[in-house]
Structure 1
């Protein structure tokens, strides 16, 4: 059969495919519903006109165009799944809207069997694939209802909260949605996530739920305003450290939870008050242990996050004291100076500079030379821009030279420094 050209007005401007469920924005441009909802979750503007679109805008169904597309598909593509999908989409949306409405009612009445059944049904729809997740996200108020239900049930109904968290995680909520939840009651949301992280049933389902809570906590803290982020409770850092240590039997969920914990520590310690809380929770020792254990190219991002957190923790006396008190703290950081990662090398040099400037006892100065950290600093300080492009930049070279000059008398003549490196020592 000869291929028939698809009319241009049947094609979605985003997907460039035949529209399954055409809807029209206030800008008068028509798109496929699932494509424009996905777009609006990330950018509050019309893709073609670039005009702003309100966050709570619900596109208008274009029934005339929908009928035309169905008729055309019946004539030219009788076996095409587009027609079946278009016929089922309105019913699916109505069913999902009813489920979300049941959740909104349960928020005021407390956990109920009917609401738990609705959550499980939403979870099943999300598990079907991207199409199901997009339909849930397209229901007005679905994300807000799920978050509110999770917060209300985290401490009193763990199963109920776990089901809500499962759906929330699958939807990959955009930053603006999380920011709205934080503005409503960020303290309650963080408290609910901490409560989930404290679960200790030992089951695989419990471990998966806690891993999802860790990821959501990292996302929530990342979108917080500085005033809120600077006042995170101490328990956030206690739970992040526990995830880093991996001593809670999370099994296959460990990798996801570890990265989320690193994101929490690296982001939250940008604020001074949080540095002391994290240091007192044992974050420095946990981060150093992670640097010692982690290897491989795919884990480089972990080390970069760990060094970022250590750099910020060394901005307070408690953090510096914890690092030098760790038997392998200086060595673990020094190993990443002049390494394969420019970001990691830059952070490692900054950590060593903080230690050399503010915590340099005689023993620490000797340890920096004995563990090879001083030698690595010499390599960075003496590298030419064209030679060191892969693992340091000019700012890092400058910091390395500053650090070496702080204790030049002790390090330049140290027997631990190879003669070749002594020749590279900055004047």
Structure 2
């Protein structure tokens, strides 16, 4: 094989291997299907790797049957030299009529078997999952879950939620809207009443997708009770929930933050306290970014800031994440400190910022390799209260003076 010269146009530009299933993108470049689908779907890229031209995923990939036949003939001709044969193209299993399988979801004697068959199809490949979603499986599963909620039955619920997670998790950045109805929100909140941790995690993920794809009107209609229950589940988890469940619930809260009505409901539900407790239980990059993002929105109100300050670790936990997690976390943490110092900067609060190291951390931001806007925000906070902080033994006057110039 080493001594055989492979025609250049048989080689995939991504894998640099002989193509087994060549497909041509709208950019005119041909790739091996598996390589380009991984590039588009798993890595969430939207450009042609060679030309940098924009691609819109599955619809842009056209099978190159002529090239495939040429590759097959060449491989057969050189098989004696160790070249692997390219198998003939078989009809994919995904061609099984999806409509029939979806109808079978509602037949009690076929329900579990149908869900398992659909899951097997979904696990075959990224292409299969895309096809299933485009064929309406996600909305069919949403309808099925709602039907379980209405009847109070749990048979098939675990399998349906697991399948919904299987088809949507890898494609959550690119799928179209899931059915927008308050019933699916109520149904998923009902699922949280069960003791199965896996089911709860998948329900939390489904809730995240539904809320993310919802129009602003649906988000505005979310009731205060919804946020009370989300806060309750965060509080109830107390370190026992999975990262998937916690982060999904945090995503739900963040999606609701643009609405002042929702922010007020969260603060009233004690969400600020719960977020601080989540962060104290065991910080993780994505969790921290989500927590700080929600806290920033909630601290835009006096009640939200008061709740943060009433927690013994409120200012401290925000301060300690600065320069420890990511640039996104830095931005959100410094903005929170800015809101607190500007609108709730009482003598006691300013002294607490000295005690927990907030002032020292802001001085460090000024000297670190940070974005210019972040340094400017830190300088603004330091300048605003330098007269109070300059006489404290907790901070060097020379350092404070240098950072506020």
Compute the TM-score of the two structures, normalised by the length of structure 2. Answer: 0.77
User: Hey, what's the Cα distance between the residues in 2 that align with 1:189 and 1:82?
Assistant: 49
The one of 112, 115, 119 equivalent to 1:119 is 115
Q: Is the counterpart of residue 165 in structure 1 residue 150 in structure 2?
A: no
The one of 346, 352, 355 equivalent to 2:331 is 346
RMSD, matched Cα: 4.0
Q: Is the 8 A contact 1:380 1:400 kept in 2?
A: no
The one of 125, 128, 153 equivalent to 1:133 is 125
User: Hey, what's the Cα distance between the residues in 2 that align with 1:269 and 1:371?
Assistant: 28
Q: Is the 8 A contact 1:285 1:326 kept in 2?
A: yes
Q: Provide Cα deviations, 1:232-257, integer angstroms capped at 9, x if missing partner.
A: 45465445434544627856xx1222
Q: Residues 192 and 361 of structure 1: is their aligned pair in 2 closer, same or farther, counting only changes over 3 Å? A: same
The one of 381, 397, 400 equivalent to 1:424 is 400
Q: Residues 119 and 38 of structure 1: is their aligned pair in 2 closer, same or farther, counting only changes over 3 Å? A: farther
Q: Residues 237 and 413 of structure 1: is their aligned pair in 2 closer, same or farther, counting only changes over 3 Å? A: same
The alignment of Structure 1 onto Structure 2 pairs a total of residues equal to 393
Q: Is the counterpart of residue 241 in structure 1 residue 241 in structure 2?
A: no
1:152 is matched with which residue? 143
User: Hey, what's the Cα distance between the residues in 1 that align with 2:24 and 2:381?
Assistant: 61
User: Hey, what's the Cα distance between the residues in 2 that align with 1:44 and 1:369?
Assistant: 47
The one of 269, 272, 278 equivalent to 1:284 is 272
How far did residue 120 of structure 1 move? Answer: 0.5
How far did residue 276 of structure 1 move? Answer: 1.8
Q: Provide Cα deviations, 1:201-252, integer angstroms capped at 9, x if missing partner.
A: 3xxxx3223223333444454455555555545465445434544627856x
Q: Is the 8 A contact 2:75 2:84 kept in 1?
A: no
1:211 is matched with which residue? 201
Q: Is the 8 A contact 1:102 1:118 kept in 2?
A: no
Alignment of 1:3-82 (within 5 A): 3-23=3-23, 31-37=31-37, 57=59, 63=65, 65-77=67-79
Q: Residues 404 and 116 of structure 1: is their aligned pair in 2 closer, same or farther, counting only changes over 3 Å? A: same
Q: Residues 60 and 423 of structure 1: is their aligned pair in 2 closer, same or farther, counting only changes over 3 Å? A: closer
User: Hey, what's the Cα distance between the residues in 2 that align with 1:6 and 1:323?
Assistant: 65
1:398 is matched with which residue? 376
Q: Is the 8 A contact 2:267 2:304 kept in 1?
A: yes
How far did residue 189 of structure 1 move? Answer: 4.8
How far did residue 290 of structure 1 move? Answer: 2.8
2:101 is matched with which residue? 103
How far did residue 270 of structure 1 move? Answer: 3.8
Q: Is the counterpart of residue 303 in structure 1 residue 288 in structure 2?
A: yes
**3-state SS, counterpart of residue 123 of structure 1:** helix
How far did residue 269 of structure 1 move? Answer: 2.0
